[in-house]
Amino acid sequence: MLNIKDKVILITGASSGIGEACARLFASHGANLIVTARRIERLRYLSEALQAEYQTKCFPLELDIRDRNAVESAIKALPASWRSIDILINNAGLALSSDPIQKGLPENWDTMIDTNVKGLLYVTHAILPDMLKRKKGHIVNIGSIAGQGVYPNGNVYCATKHAVRAITQSMRMDLMGTPVRVTEIAPGAVETEFSTVRWNDEQKAKQFYQDFNPLVADDIADAIYYCVTRPLHVDIAEMTIMPTDQASCNFISREKGKK
C-alpha cells in the first residue's frame, strides 16, 4: 500500500460532491491538495477547513477547465512547490437537462462536451508531461455507468462519458512502458449536487433519490483512495460502482424504498 502523505494531488470539480469528498479523505491521510473549480469561495472555505483540521497544505485554484488557455496558464503559474503533481483526479463534469435529442439545447450540448471531454483533455495535457519527466504519476478519470450503456434522454451526456471511457483506455495504451498509471472510476447513482445541476430543480433532484439507497460521494472517494494506494506494479484499470439497488444505467429498483 502506497503512502500518500505529502503527495501533491490535483482535483478538478473540488467545490462539491465527489471532488470535495476526495479532498477531505486525501487530506486526512496527509496529502497536499490543489483544489480547483469555478466557485472560488467554496474552495477557500474548504481549504481553510482542511488545513485547520488536518494541518495539510491546500491550494485553492479558481479554474474553468473549458478554457484551454486558462488551464495551461494556471498550471504553468503554480508555485514551484506545487508543480510536481503526483495524482490527477479528473472529476469535474456535469449533465444538463434530460431532453430527447430533438428537443435538446445545443448550448447545453456544448457545455457538457466542453467540460466532460475537452476539459479533461486540457487538464491532462497540461499535467502529464511533468509526470513523464519525473517518471511517476497517476491519472484518475471519473466516468460513469452512462459510459457503458445509454438511457432514454441521456444522449449527449452518455456520449461524453463514452468518450471518457475511450480516452482512458487509449491513454493507458499510449502510456504503456511508462510508470504513469491510469484509472477510470465509473459510478452509478450518487446523491450529490449532480441532479440539482442537471435539472436546475432541487425538489426534482431530491425526488429522484427518494425511493432507493443511492451511493454517496464518500463511497466514490473511498474507491479512488484504494486505487491510488495500490503498489506501483498494480494499476486498477477501471472500477464500476453502483448502489445495491441499481443494476444498470437503465434500471434502479425502487420497490422497497430507502432502508
What residues act catalytically?
157
Cα gap 254→71, rounded to integer Å: 42
- Which cell goes with 29? 491521510
Cα distance between residue 156 and residue 146, in whole Å: 10
8 Å CB contact between 97 and 105: yes
CA distance 121 to 244: 32
Cell numbers describing residue 204? 426534482
Task: List Cα–Cα distances, 76 to 80, 82, 197, in angstroms.
Answer: 9, 10, 31
Q: Is 52 exposed, middle or buried (0-12, 13-18, 19+ CB in 10 A)?
A: exposed
Q: What are phi and psi of 243, to 5 degrees?
A: -60, 155
Q: Evaluate whether 133 touches 175 at the Cβ level (below 8 Å).
A: no
Alpha-carbon distance of 98 to 95, in angstroms, equals 8
Which amino acid is residue 154, in one-letter code?
Answer: G
- E strand residue ranges, 173-245: 181-187, 238-241
Q: Is 49 helix (H, G, I), strand (E, B) or coil?
A: helix
